[in-house]
Amino acid sequence: MADSTTPPNPTAPHQEDRPVYVIGGGPGGLAVAYALRARGVRAVVLERSDGVGASWRRHYDRLRLHTTRRLSALPGLPIPRRFGRWVAREDMVRYLEKYAEYHRLEIVTGVEVSRVERTADGTGWLLRATGGRELTGAAVVIATGFNHTPRLPDWPGRDTYTGTFLHASEYRNARPFAGRDVLVAGIGNTGAEIAVDLVEGGASRVRLSVRTVPHLVRRSTAGWPSQRSAVLVRRLPVGLVDRLSRVQARVAMPDLSAQGLPRPDSGLYSRVLEGAIPVQDVGLVDAVRKGTVEIVAAVEGFEDGEIALADGNRVGPDAVIAATGYVRALEGLVGHLDVLDDRGRPVARGAGTPPDAPGLYFTGFTNPISGNLRELALDAEKIAKALTRRGAPGISRLPG
């Protein structure tokens, strides 16, 4: 990998030899770079950190993929069988490093792109990056990731809280919380798994704050992974999948209403299309049934060193971990191009480009029921195929 001392193609005032710039060195960016390279197109990955897979390096220690090894590999290189069916975080980092090395991808680290604009002649794209760089590309693929910038709700009084407070992106393991009373705010997959990790790591009390009751699913049943079911049903009518999943949940999952987790009123697939992915059970159900993870109402604010909950109760934990998700943070990068919807999401993805921005592609900004890594791999092939079919002025080709 190159570093920021060797910037690629600086300024490039002419149309000749314009690479495709891929912004982001995570799985989506690496997959696109390989797919383009396989078609003879020069692709340069720009990564703001000092290595590939930066978000994976920051995840908590116990994380394992909720998707299977075979359905999580990027194009051109399988994930090694020795990593097991549910790949651990550190093994995923190793795989991404090997992927970049194996495919000899052109990656420049330590470069953060702050703004993407059309070139003055309208034939390409100008990228403004750290160090005053101005890079000109034939096309741009934005792959900065679904988990880009931690999201923290504007809870009133949070700055007055004297206990330990951190976003889930800063959580590594339970060691600092042994013997402590901890509140985890948010019951997505991250919050649920951190709560279980805290229990197993010796926290004296663990409460899980829930605003919207999630759909709980088994990661696998009798050896059949839930991801395979998701792949099979993803193109079926939404209402039908909602009904099927409701029946399946009643058979496979216990009723936790008495513990504060009733079955959701809305359908599973309907919720997915709204952006809410089901929570895969990696120990939460048993912990809730045993009472080692206590379900409490949503956090409303902080008052006098305590946390005010939506049901009127107050709790006084030693630490709060906000598992409140992330924002895509694309507004500064491309918000001026009219390519985002009212929720800050790209209006096009995969092989599609926004109507007024030909040559600008996005990948990795959805959280599909069938697995993010699987969809990233499919998107990479679609983007490379579309880009080479449509062409771009002065696009740089690899020798041979």
Q: Are 81 and 160 contained in the same domain?
A: no
Q: Are 31 and 119 contained in the same domain?
A: yes
The answer to the question of residue 236 being in a domain is: yes
Q: Which residues contact 170 (CB under 8 A, 6 or more apart)?
A: none
pLDDT value at position 13? 42
Partnered with residue 297 across adjacent β-strands are 210
Domain total in the chain: 2
pLDDT tier for residue 16 given thresholds of 50, 70 and 90: low
pLDDT value at position 83? 97
Write the DSSP symbol of residue 88: B
3-state secondary structure of 181: strand
Residue 2 has pLDDT above 70, yes or no: no
Q: Which residues contact 259 (CB under 8 A, 6 or more apart)?
A: 288, 289, 291, 295
The answer to the question of residue 14 being in a domain is: no
Q: Are 386 and 284 contained in the same domain?
A: no
The answer to the question of residue 249 being in a domain is: yes
Does an H or E element contain 291, and which?
none
Average pLDDT over residues 390-399: 78
Poorest-pLDDT segment among 3-17, 200-214, 235-249, 258-272: 3-17
List the CATH number of the domain containing 281: 3.50.50.60
The answer to the question of residue 6 being in a domain is: no
Does an H or E element contain 260, and which?
none
CB-based burial label for 44 (10 Å; 0-12, 13-18, 19+): buried
Residue 15 has pLDDT above 60, yes or no: no
Task: Supply the pTM of this predicted model.
Answer: 0.89
Closest CA to 255 of 289, 279, 287: 289
Average pLDDT over residues 297-326: 95
Q: Give 126-182 pLDDT, tens digit per residue.
A: 999 998 999 999 999 999 987 778 999 999 999 999 999 999 999 999 999 999 999
Domain boundary pick from 296, 322, 348: 322
Q: Are 186 and 226 contained in the same domain?
A: yes
Domain boundary pick from 322, 357, 379: 322
Residue 4 has pLDDT above 80, yes or no: no
Return the residue matching tokens 């679609």: 382
Residue 7 has pLDDT above 50, yes or no: no
Q: Are 308 and 340 contained in the same domain?
A: no
Average pLDDT over residues 218-240: 89
Closest CA to 216 of 150, 282, 151: 282
Q: Are 316 and 349 contained in the same domain?
A: no
- Containing domain of residue 209, as a range? 150-322
Alpha-carbon distance 116 to 131, whole Å? 15
Average pLDDT over residues 41-57: 94
pLDDT value at position 398? 83
CA distances (Å), 199 to each of 5, 170, 278, 314, in order?
A: 46, 18, 22, 21
DSSP one-letter string for 109-168: ES--EEEEEE-TTSSSEEEEEGGGEEEEESEEEE---SS-EE-----TTGGG--SEEEEG
